[in-house]
Amino acid sequence: MNELEENTAQELSDDMKILDEHIDSEYKWGFVTDIESESAPKGLSEEIVRFISAKKHEPVWMTDWRLKAFRHWKKMEEPHWSNVHYPPIDYQDISYYSAPKSKPQLNSLDEVDPELLKTFEKLGIPLEEQKILSGVAVDAVFDSVSVATTFKETLKEKGIIFCSISEAIQEHPEIVKKYLGSVVPYTDNYYAALNSAVFSDGSFVFIPKGVRCPMELSTYFRINAQETGQFERTLIIAEESAYVSYLEGCTAPIRDNNQLHAAVVELVVLDDAEIKYSTVQNWYPGDKEGRGGIYNFVTKRGACRGKNSKISWTQVETGSAITWKYPSCILQGDNSIGEFYSVAVTNNYQQADTGTKMIHIGKNTRSTVISKGISAGNSNNSYRGLVRVGKNAIGARNFTQCDSMLMSDKCGANTFPYIEVENDSAKVEHEATTSKVGEDQIFYLNQRGISTEDAVNMIVNGFCKEVFNELPMEFAVEAQKLLAISLEGSVG
């Protein structure tokens, strides 16, 4: 085959995969945490923080850290600078520790919201998975624990640690102590402080020196939906020359009684190492009037500590009523690289304020930011990005491209670039475009026999191509489907 045919064949097989309804594959298998417990009463106090820590049988240092975070949080004020609007949150009206199996157990799929079932069908989620996701009792056939165990064995041979953060606190306290809060200290921001005080659980990944993780790691979120935490805490460390690709995501529309979600993700990358972190986020966005959606206030940050290290964030955000999220890179090591590829879709009354921060500290550090915002309905979609080049970051380079696509006349798109450069040798480029899904584009595709709905999907997927290219194949396939569902019937 010549190059053209190879490209075309590749393109075609990609397409085939998109059509392929079979979504199940290995990457979703991760770990399952067993916690048997009841809920804490509403409200937040030192007692509650101690209660959470005790429930998790944490060592004293951990309890102390949580308490320090809590005391700091009490002195902080909720930020209101972002371009999102919501009624005040009563932090004393939230339960900070709830039993993992908080979803009602239903007897069959007949009892599940038909809207939800329709979406499952469109996503092609197998029946057994549908049951788990919607809280229907399932039988033992679908026991994932055994699969997860085999998976862990493989990793263990390589010296890779992949477990829940709770387990890591018990089993690997010296590593956790060294890195937890080293990238996002609890003093960082309001939600990070809150998370540090009350975090429920999350993932821990440690890739030792010189090891390439042989498979993509995932939180196993999809199956494990009923245990998704309100305050997730994730810590990933790649030692010298290590590599890992980590997937975080829930492609099924996750409903949750907890409206406020405040996760913290910390990445640490040493010399010549790389972490690729991909997210597909599909929290419940609320109904068509915007009621009941999740508020998602996330702090994600990675530190390129070593020379030639690299962090790549790729995210596809379609869910949540409100998204407040700026995955960032601190480029400390010389020649380190930070990348941010993002697709953020908002529809109906969703609001997203998302972007990245690239902090150039080391010499010849480079960063690339590709952000694609798609707004439909009455939604509002803002990109907020900071590029800071320090005095010593000689030869630093940044390229930022922010494209917005509007699907209606009532939606909004904003771009807020902040550029702070402290040395002359740096090169910072920023490009921004805004376009409307063109009637002429749709007609052109119609004229080739393609329906308007398919035409819009094609145009939108084309618009997001540079970002989807960065996602692992299966994730890209799911992301495309998600986009189609999120934007269904939204042209106008």
Partner 1 sequence: MLTIKNLHANVEGKEILKGIDLEINTGEVHAIMGPNGSGKSTLANVLAGNGGYEVTAGEIRFEGKNLLELDPEDRAREGMFLAFQYPVEIPGVSNATFLKTAINEVRKYHGKPELTPKEFLDLMRDKSKILGMDENLISRSVNVGFSGGEKKRNEIFQLLMMNPKLALLDETDSGLDIDALKIVSNGVNIFKNKNNAVLVVTHYQRLLNYIVPDFVHVLYKGKIIKTGTKELALELEDKGYDWIKPDLIEAETA
Strand pairing of 161-164 and 203-207? antiparallel
For residue 415, give Cα distances in angstroms to 368, 381, 434. 16, 9, 10
Residue with smaller CB distance to partner 1, 61 or 443:
443
Q: CA dihedral in degrees (65, 71, 74, 75; nearest 10)?
A: -110
At its nearest, how many Å lie between partner 1 and the CB of residue 446?
4
Residue with smaller CB distance to partner 1, 46 or 454:
454
As given in the structure block, the two tokens for residue 99 are 């039993």
Residue 483's nearest CA partner among 320, 317, 247, 296 is: 317
Count the alpha carbons within 13 Å of 442 in the hemisphere toward its beta carbon.
Answer: 14
Report how far Cα 439 is from the mean position of its chain's Cα atoms: 33
Residue with smaller CB distance to partner 1, 61 or 444:
444
Residue with smaller CB distance to partner 1, 3 or 110:
3
Residue with smaller CB distance to partner 1, 155 or 467:
467
Cβ neighbours around 492 below 10 Å, total: 10
Residues that bind partner 1 (CB under 8 A): 2-5, 7-9, 11-13, 15-16, 438-441, 443-452, 454, 458-459, 461-466
Please list the residues that pair with 265 across neighbouring strands: 234, 300
At its nearest, how many Å lie between partner 1 and the CB of residue 378?
24
Residue with tokens 């006349």: 409
Residue with tokens 């606190």: 169
* Rounded distance between C-alpha atoms, residue 269 and residue 302, angstroms: 8
* Rounded distance between C-alpha atoms, residue 271 and residue 253, angstroms: 38
Residue with smaller CB distance to partner 1, 294 or 369:
369
Please list the residues that pair with 385 across neighbouring strands: 356, 417
Residue with smaller CB distance to partner 1, 12 or 137:
12
At its nearest, how many Å lie between partner 1 and the CB of residue 447?
5
* Rounded distance between C-alpha atoms, residue 281 and residue 83, angstroms: 20
For residue 94, give Cα distances in angstroms to 165, 228, 261, 262. 23, 16, 11, 13
At its nearest, how many Å lie between partner 1 and the CB of residue 470?
13
Residue with smaller CB distance to partner 1, 74 or 465:
465
First to last CA, the chain: 43
Please list the residues that pair with 281 across neighbouring strands: 317
At its nearest, how many Å lie between partner 1 and the CB of residue 417?
22
Residue 252's nearest CA partner among 376, 129, 99 is: 129
At its nearest, how many Å lie between partner 1 and the CB of residue 453?
10
At its nearest, how many Å lie between partner 1 and the CB of residue 24?
23
At its nearest, how many Å lie between partner 1 and the CB of residue 402?
15
> For 113-143, what is the HEC assignment?
CHHHHHHHHHHCCCHHHHHHHCCECCCHHHC
Contact between 218 and 28 (Cβ < 8 Å): yes
At its nearest, how many Å lie between partner 1 and the CB of residue 443?
5
Residue with smaller CB distance to partner 1, 19 or 145:
19
Residue with smaller CB distance to partner 1, 392 or 435:
435
Residue with smaller CB distance to partner 1, 115 or 431:
431
Residue 376's nearest CA partner among 413, 339, 403 is: 413
Residue 433's nearest CA partner among 459, 413, 457, 453 is: 413
Residue with smaller CB distance to partner 1, 313 or 463:
463
Q: Which residues of 11-46 are buried (b: 16+ CB within 10 A; e: fewer)?
A: eeeeeeebeeeebeeebbbbbbbeeeeeebeeebee
Q: What are phi and psi of 404, to 5 degrees?
A: -120, 140
At its nearest, how many Å lie between partner 1 and the CB of residue 14?
8
At its nearest, how many Å lie between partner 1 and the CB of residue 448?
4
At its nearest, how many Å lie between partner 1 and the CB of residue 411?
20
